[in-house]
Structure 1
């Protein structure tokens, strides 16, 4: 690997900061390059700092990735015309708008922060892999953990942009700024290698004070998703069965229990990023244009209603405020992530999951908009506006069951696929007559999976990815009716990918060498 440079040290140092749970270490404010990573603790601090970048608003801290994986599909839309969510959700995005940042959320912010994680991961692997100051077992685990983080980010990058710069060595910023795009297949091969190494060397689970770190099963689920996108159905099925049969995770008896804020590390959740209130981020002087790294989540505020929008009868607003106050609650959010018109109208009335996905009446007050209470936290004391401690769920086991059902159906037909979808449906309905599926053709089962993933995983940042890999995004969106936007009129075939932001193109013209159209946006 290439020689390390001082910029890399500075970057790692300033990415580290203190926070609760597994990010407990006090970072060193100034660490001399010649002594940094002199111990396992030094390396762990660098890993913690890398996790912190994932918590930025541009990725998992607010709705950074949600913009790309949910907005502009058929589940979520805002309750008003808002500029910073409109370009992607309404398919009006262009290279210049990709640079426009609000609350450190833009296409550009997401691009930069995903590559910041990769930059860190490459440096940590280079600094740790042969570091004899660290014992063999923790050294291997640290390399496996950051290999997973690198794979995660490259996976997102290929999902969002396809071909992209790809490097796994420690490069200078000047070298990075001249990299052309690498084809998606090559990047995915590297991602799979990282995931396989991570799964082989990460633990099944962590002690309570370490929860929030990615286990081997987080690596396994991404690997399964990649196989499915490649239509390698048997490999995907085998990986899903490995997770179902060998992981410590299990389905909970009811859907509501999965989203209980008092049980954020329940057995169904494969990976969840932990957040803590009242812990602000720090500025990274090595990357002055990048987002702040924080540890308090903004995301629930995007799903929480705001009082000025509710209730439907505005004369009852004071009464609603008082009713909420008596419970220690408030409609103190933004309402910029609500159930879409299409989703609310089609969600089955007899589905027990409906009450957490479609809330149009609260405390007896009829609401203007249908909200998704599965991501709510209205408690003023424990979860104030834009300062929530709620974890960000990334992957859960129900997703794996539905993935296995799809793989089995695509590989062999529906005969043995029912066994995977039935545990999900049986907890979603009162009677067997309601949840039982029988006698479906392969196409019929395929369409049942389309719907089941929609109802079960709503708002969990899977929908556009699913619609794109199924090849039906354009058809679905064309038939949508939105409240404020017209995505059905604006969407074009190239909208399955994002444009590389204009600022990146101006700094690195090599990004246009392999594709002068910039994913069709030119």
Structure 2
């Protein structure tokens, strides 16, 4: 049984905020405020670290488990939000609406602020052991880097806050250029990979490790187009996978289990539990009104679906186990094959990757949300190696995943599963992009892959040519979201 969510400790227990203000005369105010943690001991330090992670997995924080997990997946060319989530399917609508990402922005910067607060208190602390402080620094820098990595890809220039906001005078901060933000992300992750442990005990599953920092670095380098560094960092993980306990799980059901605390493919994921308002909404968001009887979730919201006509889905081999897990148009109820609910003229399939029919409530699905799996490392390596040297040494990484997908031995060449030999560098790159689509469907990576590879217009255009209502998928005219009103109104320098 999955342990209780490690991030459910109330944040106020972790962050003891002391606000001091003074008034010398009846009408004379000195609006000074300081925010500090109590004297850090090992117990309070542990609570504080948990508090740093907490905003990321907050069920009502509308960050990764909700807005990103659902919304950014609906921005893929093969998905549609239907009548309920229209804006997420219309790129030009959602990306020009300042309020579309207001709550995620606030939650994101809350996590950043907590990481900054921990860092400055660690700087001031003289009682904790060096080993405890080093690991705590690593987790704080890791969380901050992950948050800014998301922010820079979504909004571009954002305020690069590296210190806690202690009073209203600290709110005004100019937007940083994207290169400066990426430099800071890399600096934080480089420190984290040296400070964090290689592994953590199962009771701490979901906490950052040195392997997670390395995987994040490889991904950042890939996004920047620095293929040498992306390839080298991914290979470092592959060559030392035993140190980190990583490998490909033979069964996809293990990877997406709603009850297991972790698995050997899990590099970094947000941990959710089968507890009311402590779970991941995804299983319920994607399922329809017969979710419970069909075996997908305790209830279904029907917040979006998959278009079978989109080229990625249309051309997906029916023998690929990833397809059978991830998309469906029917299910069996009481022994009878029943058509899944769809929206005629919009979408005809449902997303099935997240399943937890034994959840107590729709806010209590136990499925974790992956940021990086060992599969990411293999595909990062395959893409970067091919970009540098052609596909010769890149085949093995991608074929490992394809063999699992077709249910054959992952270590033996397979005529059924393996990519054809002799692909050109360009053709192999196209295959890596396709495999990322199949491997990570439902894991909110597709939009970012479309943008970073420069394929957005072509791929969305190809989908528009065949989907039922092409007007719902306009060719994007921009690739960054507008800054939310909450920042524009409070930060006079956010221009």
TM-score, normalised to structure 2, is: 0.84
Which of 367, 371, 376 does residue 340 from structure 2 map onto?
367
Indicate how the Cα distance of structure 1 residues 424 and 227 shifts in structure 2: closer, same or farther if over 3 A, else same.
Answer: same
**Whole-angstrom CA distance in 2 between matches of 1:29 and 1:427:** 42
SS of 1:393's partner is strand
Equivalent runs, 1:356-505 vs 2, <5 Å: 356-363=325-332, 364-369=337-342, 370-379=349-358, 382-429=359-406, 432-437=414-419, 438-481=421-464, 482=467, 486-489=471-474, 491-494=475-478, 496-505=479-488
For residues 239-272 of structure 1, the C-alpha deviation after alignment (integer angstroms, 9 at most, x for no partner) is: 1011122231101123343223343411111122
Which of 32, 36, 39 does residue 38 from structure 2 map onto?
36
**Whole-angstrom CA distance in 2 between matches of 1:355 and 1:464:** 22
Aligned to 1:125: 119
**Whole-angstrom CA distance in 1 between matches of 2:37 and 2:57:** 28
For residues 263-290 of structure 1, the C-alpha deviation after alignment (integer angstroms, 9 at most, x for no partner) is: 341111112222234454xxxxxxxxxx
Q: Please give the root-mean-square deviation of Cα atoms over the aligned residues, in Å.
A: 2.6
Whether the 8 Å contact between 1:60 and 1:392 is mirrored in structure 2 is no
Aligned to 2:25: none
Aligned to 2:67: 64
Indicate how the Cα distance of structure 1 residues 377 and 428 shifts in structure 2: closer, same or farther if over 3 A, else same.
Answer: same
**Whole-angstrom CA distance in 2 between matches of 1:146 and 1:75:** 36
Whether the 8 Å contact between 1:339 and 1:372 is mirrored in structure 2 is yes
Q: CA deviation at 1:31?
A: 4.3
Whether the 8 Å contact between 1:180 and 1:511 is mirrored in structure 2 is yes
Whether the 8 Å contact between 2:63 and 2:103 is mirrored in structure 1 is no
Indicate how the Cα distance of structure 1 residues 205 and 483 shifts in structure 2: closer, same or farther if over 3 A, else same.
Answer: farther
Aligned to 1:161: 155
Aligned to 1:303: 286
Aligned to 1:98: 98
**Whole-angstrom CA distance in 1 between matches of 2:40 and 2:205:** 25
Indicate how the Cα distance of structure 1 residues 356 and 152 shifts in structure 2: closer, same or farther if over 3 A, else same.
Answer: same
Structure 2 unaligned regions, length at least 5: 19-35, 343-348, 409-413
Equivalent runs, 1:10-49 vs 2, <5 Å: 20-23=4-7, 28=13, 31=16, 33=18, 36-49=38-51
**Whole-angstrom CA distance in 2 between matches of 1:511 and 1:449:** 38
SS of 1:394's partner is strand
**Whole-angstrom CA distance in 1 between matches of 2:304 and 2:490:** 34
Whether the 8 Å contact between 1:221 and 1:400 is mirrored in structure 2 is yes
**Whole-angstrom CA distance in 1 between matches of 2:384 and 2:235:** 11
Aligned to 1:268: 265
Q: CA deviation at 1:483?
A: 5.3
**Whole-angstrom CA distance in 2 between matches of 1:350 and 1:92:** 36
SS of 1:499's partner is coil
**Whole-angstrom CA distance in 2 between matches of 1:217 and 1:75:** 32
**Whole-angstrom CA distance in 2 between matches of 1:170 and 1:372:** 40
Please tell me whether residue 220 in structure 1 is matched to residue 193 in structure 2.
no
**Whole-angstrom CA distance in 1 between matches of 2:166 and 2:280:** 32
Structure 1 unaligned regions, length at least 5: 1-18, 100-105, 281-294, 311-320, 513-522
**Whole-angstrom CA distance in 1 between matches of 2:298 and 2:178:** 43
Aligned to 2:248: 251
My pick for the range that moved more, 69-78 or 157-166, is 69-78
**Whole-angstrom CA distance in 2 between matches of 1:331 and 1:296:** 12
Indicate how the Cα distance of structure 1 residues 365 and 198 shifts in structure 2: closer, same or farther if over 3 A, else same.
Answer: same
Aligned to 1:353: 322
SS of 1:440's partner is coil
Aligned to 1:291: none
Please tell me whether residue 340 in structure 1 is matched to residue 324 in structure 2.
no
Whether the 8 Å contact between 1:357 and 1:372 is mirrored in structure 2 is yes
**Whole-angstrom CA distance in 1 between matches of 2:490 and 2:8:** 37
Whether the 8 Å contact between 2:276 and 2:360 is mirrored in structure 1 is no
For residues 57-113 of structure 1, the C-alpha deviation after alignment (integer angstroms, 9 at most, x for no partner) is: 4455532223564222224323x311xx332321243688432xxxxxx40111111
Q: CA deviation at 1:303?
A: 2.0
